[in-house]
C-alpha cells in the first residue's frame, strides 16, 4: 500500500531497507539541488571541503569579501544541521511520529521558496548569489544531519567524497587475494568485502549522479521552477507521518 510504504520511510521504527530507500531518494534530491544550484549561481553547495579550502585561499590572497562569503556558507551549513538536530530531538521528546519528517518538510518549503522567488530576484545578483548559496548550504546541512541521525551515521547523501572512499575500500577487499599463509598466520580470518554495503554505496552514488544530471538539465531548460519536482519528492516522503501526528490518522 503506498501510504504504508511512505510512512515506513521516515517513521521512528527503522529498518535497513527503509534507510536505504530513503537514502537513495535524498541522494537524488541532493544531487539535483547541488547541480541545479551551480547552474543558477555558479557554485556547488553540498560539500564543505571545497568551501573551506576556497575560504582559506581567499584569505591568503587578501580577498576578504570572498572569504566572508565562504564563512557565511559554512555557517549556513552548520546552522542547517543544527536546526535538523533541534527538530528531531524536539519531536523525539514528544514521541512524535514525524520527528524525521519535519526537517524534510522544511527543506521542501525552502526549495519552493528558492524556486518561486529566484526568478524575481535573479536580476539583483549582488544580493541574490550569496543569499542563494547560504540557503542551499542550509538545506544541505539540514538534509545531511537528518539522514545521518536516522541511519545512525551509516548513510550520508549530500556529498560523494565519503561514498567514493568507502566504495574504494570495499573494492579493495573484494579484489584482495586471500592466499595461503604460513605458520600461526593460517588462523587469521580472510579479507572479505561487505557486498551489501558495496551495493548500497554504489546505489547512493548512482542516485546522486542521476539527480545531478536531472537537476542540471532541469535548471538549464526550466529555470527555477525545476525546484518544484524536488520539493514534491520531499513532501511525499514527509507528509504521511506529519498527517499521523496532526490528525491522528493511521490509514
Q: Residue-wise pLDDT tens for the chain (251 aa)?
A: 488 888 888 989 888 899 999 999 999 999 999 998 888 777 888 778 888 888 899 999 988 888 898 899 999 999 999 999 999 999 999 999 999 999 999 999 999 888 877 766 655 666 667 788 888 999 999 999 999 999 888 888 887 888 899 999 999 999 998 877 777 666 678 888 999 999 999 999 999 999 999 999 998 898 888 899 999 999 999 999 999 898 875 54
What is the distance, to the nearest Å, from the Cα of residue 247 to the centroid of all Cα atoms in its chain? 29
Distance CA 14, CA 19 (A): 7
Alpha helices by DSSP H, listed for 61-181, are: 64-93, 101-121, 125-150, 161-174
193: left (phi over 0), alpha (psi -120 to 50) or beta: beta
Classify the C-alpha dihedral 153-250-236-133 as positive or negative.
Answer: negative
Distance CA 142, CA 158 (A): 10
Q: Residue 61 carries which DSSP code?
A: T
Amino acid at each position: 500500500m503506498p501510504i504504508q510504504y511512505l510512512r515506513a520511510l521516515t517513521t521512528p521504527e527503522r529498518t535497513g531497507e527503509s534507510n536505504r530507500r530513503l537514502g537513495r531518494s535524498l541522494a537524488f534530491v541532493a544531487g539535483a539541488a547541488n547541480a541545479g544550484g551551480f547552474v543558477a549561481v555558479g557554485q556547488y553547495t553540498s560539500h564543505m571541503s571545497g568551501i573551506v579550502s576556497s575560504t582559506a585561499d581567499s584569505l591568503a590572497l587578501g580577498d576578504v569579501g570572498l572569504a566572508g562569503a565562504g564563512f557565511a556558507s559554512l555557517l549556513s551549513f552548520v546552522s542547517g544541521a543544527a536546526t535538523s538536530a533541534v527538530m528531531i530531538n524536539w519531536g523525539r521528546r514528544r514521541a512524535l511520529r514525524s520527528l524525521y519528517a519535519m526537517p524534510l518538510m522544511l527543506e521542501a518549503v525552502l526549495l519552493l521558496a528558492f524556486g518561486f522567488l529566484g526568478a524575481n530576484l535573479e536580476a539583483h545578483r549582488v544580493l541574490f548569489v550569496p543569499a542563494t548559496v547560504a540557503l542551499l548550504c542550509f538545506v544541505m546541512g539540514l538534509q545531511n544531519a537528518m539522514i545521518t541521525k536516522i541511519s545512525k551515521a551509516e548513510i550520508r547523501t549530500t556529498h560523494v567524497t565519503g561514498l567514493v572512499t568507502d566504495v574504494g575500500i570495499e573494492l579493495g577487499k573484494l579484489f584482495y587475494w586471500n592466499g595461503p599463509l604460513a605458520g600461526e598466520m593460517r588462523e587469521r580470518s580472510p579479507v572479505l568485502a561487505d557486498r551489501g554495503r558495496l551495493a548500497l554505496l554504489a546505489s547512493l552514488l548512482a542516485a546522486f549522479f542521476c539527480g545531478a544530471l536531472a537537476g542540471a538539465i532541469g535548471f538549464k531548460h526550466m529555470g527555477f521552477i525545476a525546484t518544484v519536482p524536488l520539493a514534491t519528492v520531499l513532501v511525499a516522503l514527509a507528509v504521511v507521518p506529519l498527517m499521523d501526528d496532526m490528525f491522528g490518522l493511521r490509514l
